Amino acid sequence: MLAFLRLAPWSGMNTEIKEIRLHDPAQLHLAKSETAADRLVLAEFAFGTLAGVISYVAAILTTFVEVHGFWRPFWLAICIVSFICAAGLIAEGARNFGKRE
């Protein structure tokens, strides 16, 4: 944690912690909307990463496992579909990341 705090200003990260006053309803609504936007971006990046890993594993199964018949086109279809999902989710997460603030 201390190394992160030392490197944060160098990398351009903001380490300031905002105080949230829970007595003002407008502030609470703003805090909830910021948290919801952050969770959306995190979920899109997490599912995009998961789809990328699934695509990688399916590509390995398509290429290196010597099984003929139904399984080779099946793993190839899984690979292509999961790669498209990964690219789409990462692109959508990047677009929503810019809209957060």
Domain limits for position 59: 2-99
Q: Is the pLDDT of residue 40 over 90?
A: no
The answer to whether the CB of 83 falls within 8 A of the CB of 52 is yes
Dist. CA 53–CA 61, nearest whole Å: 12
The secondary structure of 2-47 as a DSSP string is HHHHHHHHHHT---PPPP--TTSHHHHHHHHHHHHHHHHHHHHHHH
The tokens for 20 are 């949230």
Write the pLDDT tens digit of every residue in 57-79. 999 988 888 888 888 899 999 99
Q: Taking Cα atoms as reference points, which of 88, 28, 17, 81 lies closest to residue 55?
A: 81
User: The whole model's pTM is what?
Assistant: 0.66
Give the number of domains in the chain. 1
